[in-house]
Amino acid sequence: MKILTIILFFVLVSEGYGKCLLNDISVTQTRTGVIVKGKPEWSVTVTNKCSCAQTNVILNCSGFQSLESIDPSVLTVSTNTGFCLLTPGQLINKDGIVSFKYTWGNQFSLNPISSQSSC
Ligand SMILES: *[C@@H]1O[C@H](CO)[C@@H](O)[C@H](O)[C@H]1NC(C)=O
């Protein structure tokens, strides 16, 4: 009985450690220096810093627009909801990087709103 309790404790603890936080998703943006139709191009790099893979990473795309098209398998933009889904249906591994570019007069914050960890 005691051993079972100890095992259960470690299972719970390890699952607790396995959970990713939104802070584990890092979003950085830089200007590429390229000007498209008079507007600057931005390069976005999203990195999964969690020790687990993550999926269904949603970024806040409120008001998001781009003069250049973005591959929907990298980022599916939903202007209606203001949410963008990163690499739909795919896992982003630990230290995995997803990057895309967009062109607009201002930078959008693209903060992560939710994600699912897959440990
Ligand atoms: C998304 O970003 C917009 C504009 O910055 C903000 O007003 C809104 O509260 C954000 N939504 C969420 C769910 O964080």
Q: Where are the domains of the chain?
A: 2-118
> Using CA atoms in the order 75, 22, 89, 76, what is the torsion angle rounded to 10 degrees?
-20
Residues with CB under 6 A from ligand 1: 60, 62, 109, 113
Is 9 in a helix, a strand, or coil? Answer: helix
Tell me the CA–centroid distance for residue 106 and ligand 1, in Å.
16
Of 58, 61, 62, 77, best ligand 1 pocket probe by most atoms within 8 Å of the beta carbon: 62
For residue 77, give Cα distances in angstroms to 59, 73, 88, 92: 9, 10, 11, 18
Express each pLDDT in 12-63 by its tens digit: 444 445 589 999 999 999 999 999 999 999 999 999 999 999 999 999 999 9
Look at the pTM and tell me if it is higher than 0.95: no
CATH number of the domain located at residue range(s) 2-118 in this protein: 2.60.40
Q: Whose CA is nearest to atom 5 of ligand 1?
A: 62
